[in-house]
Amino acid sequence: MNVLIVGNGGREHALAWKISQSPRAGTVFVAPGNAGTAIDAVNVDLQATDIPGVVKFAKSNDIGLTIVGPEAPLVAGMVDALQKAGLRAFGPSKAAAELEGSKVFCKNLLRTADVPSADYRVFRDIESATHYLTEREDDPVVVKADGLAAGKGVIVCQNRAEALEAVERIAGNREFGDAGKQIVIEERLVGQEASVLAITDGRNIITLPAAQDHKAAYDGDLGPNTGGMGAYCPTPMVSDKLLADVEATVLVPTIHQMKRSRRPFKGILYAGIMLTKHGPKVLEYNVRFGDPECQPLLMRMKTDLLEVIDAAVDGRLDEIGEIEWDPRPAVCVVMASEGYPGSYEKGYPIRGLEAAAALPDVKVFHAGTSNIDGQVVNMGGRVLGVTALGHTIAKAKLAAYQAVKCIRWEGAWCRKDISDKAIN
C-alpha cells in the first residue's frame, strides 16, 4: 500500500520512519517533508495546506492511505476532501477537528460532556475582556486565542497586568491574526502537565502511554510558550490507574459527546491534562499526534503502526490486540534556532548529523530542515528532535544529550532539563 503523509515537521518524520518499517507499506511519500523525510521516504513538492494538490496527487499515485499530520489542514477539511474523492484518509473531519480549531468550541463541549476542566469565560471584544479582568480578583489566569496559533496562542499570566497585556496582544494587536477573534480567559490550574493520546475509530479507543511535553522555552519551565521543546515517554506521574481514570472520565465522554453532536471523531485524540490536587483536568485538546510527543512514542512502539491506523480508518480498531511497547523509556530533545519562538535566521549548515545517528538507540528526527545543494540547513524554529531510548529515563536522557553534543549549527540551542521532572 502506498502511503502519503502530509506535513513537514518532526511528527511527520517520525510517522514516515515508523510507517516505512511496515511490511505492508509500499512507497511512503511525505508532502512537503524535510531533509530527514527525504532519507526515510520520498518527498513531494506540495504544501501541507494544498488540499486540491494533495487530493490530485493521492489519486494519480495510487495512494491507499493518506495520514494528515498537522492541525491546519485537518481544521481546513483535508480529510473530508480526500474522502469525497473516494480516497482513504486518517484524521478527523473538519467538523470534528474544531475540537482543536476553536478553544471556545472545545470548552463548551467539555462543559456539556461534564469533563473536568478549568472554569472559563468567552469574550468577543477587547473591552468586555478588559472589564472582566479589572472587576475580578487579581488571580493568575490563562488567556487563549480561540483559533490556531501554532502552539503560541496560550498565555499564562501571573497577575492582572499580565492578563491585560495578553488580551491586548491577542485582541488588540492581533498578534495571532484571526485566531484572536474570540478570547478565552480561564482559571490557571496548578500541577504537573501530561499528554494522553488515544487512537479512535469513533467507537473503539486505544489509549497510548502518557508522555510529558515541555512547552516553555527555557530550563525550569521559564520563558514564552513554544510548540514544545522536548518530551519523554512514559511519564511516571501517570500510573496505570490514573491513565484508566483519564480514559473513563475524559476521553470516552468526549468521543460520546462528539458523536451526539453529529461530529463523530476518528483519528488521534490528544488530551493535554493538568494533574491537579483535585484530580486530572483537561487543559486543551489536539486532534493529531503531538509534536514532539510523537517522536518518543513511536520510538517505543513495536506494533505495526500502519496496521493500527488502517484498522482505525475502517472502523475495526476492536480487531487490534494490545499494542506492544519497548519497555525502555524514550526522551526527545528539541534543538532550535537562535531566537525561537520569536524571529530567527535560516540557512545555516548543520554539522554532525551522521555522528549522532551512529550512536546506539538514537534517532534524529528532522523538523525545520531543508537540503540545499547537498547540505542540510536549518529552515524552521524547531529544527531537530533528537530522540533516544535507555533502560531508565536518566539513561535515555543521557543518550539523547550525547547525540545533541554531536550536532552543531550557528545559533543552535536546546533546553538542558528535558525529563528532569521524572528523574527528580
Summarize pLDDT for 160-184 with one digit per residue, the tens.
999 999 999 998 889 898 889 999 9
**Confidence class for position 113, pLDDT limits 50, 70, 90:** very high
- In this structure, are 28 and 124 located in the same domain? no
Domain shared by 226 and 248, yes or no? yes
One domain for residues 203 and 308? yes
Give pLDDT tens digits for 17-73: 999 999 999 999 999 999 999 999 999 999 999 999 999 999 999 999 999 999 999
Q: What tens digit of pLDDT does each residue of 80-91 get?
A: 999 999 999 999
What DSSP designation does 172 have?
I
pLDDT at residue 424 in the model: 83
pLDDT at position 216 is 92
pLDDT band at 152, cuts 50/70/90?
Answer: confident
Residues 153 and 262 occupy one common structural domain: no
Inside any domain, residue 98: no
The answer to whether residue 100 is domain-embedded is no
> Rounded to an integer, what distance in angstroms lies between the CA atom of residue 59 and that of residue 80?
15
User: Which distant-in-sequence residues (6+ apart) come within 8 Å of 84 by Cβ?
Assistant: none
CATH number of the domain residue 157 falls in:
3.30.1490.20
DSSP characters over 82-130: HHHTT--EES--HHHHHHHH-HHHHHHHHHHTT--B--EEEESSHHHHH
pTM, full prediction: 0.95
Write down the mean pLDDT value for the chain.
Answer: 96
Structural domain that includes position 234? 192-319
For residues 211 and 309, membership in a common domain is answered with: yes
What does the alpha-carbon distance between residue 245 and residue 233 come to, in Å, rounded to a whole number?
18
| Mean pLDDT across 80-106 | 97
The answer to whether residue 354 sits within a structural domain is: yes
% of the chain surpassing 90 pLDDT: 93
Among 330, 255, 342, which residue's Cα sits nearest to residue 295?
Answer: 330
Give the integer Cα–Cα distance in Å for 419 and 424: 9
Q: In this predicted structure, what is the pLDDT of residue 172?
A: 86
- Record the cell numbers describing residue 2, joined without a space: 502506498
Domains held by the chain: number? 4
Q: What is the pLDDT of residue 295?
A: 98
224-274 pLDDT, tens digit per residue, is 888 899 999 999 999 999 999 999 999 999 999 999 999 999 999 999 999
Assess if residue 95 is contained within a domain. Answer: no
96 part of a folded domain = no
| H-only helix segments in 136-251 | 160-167, 240-246
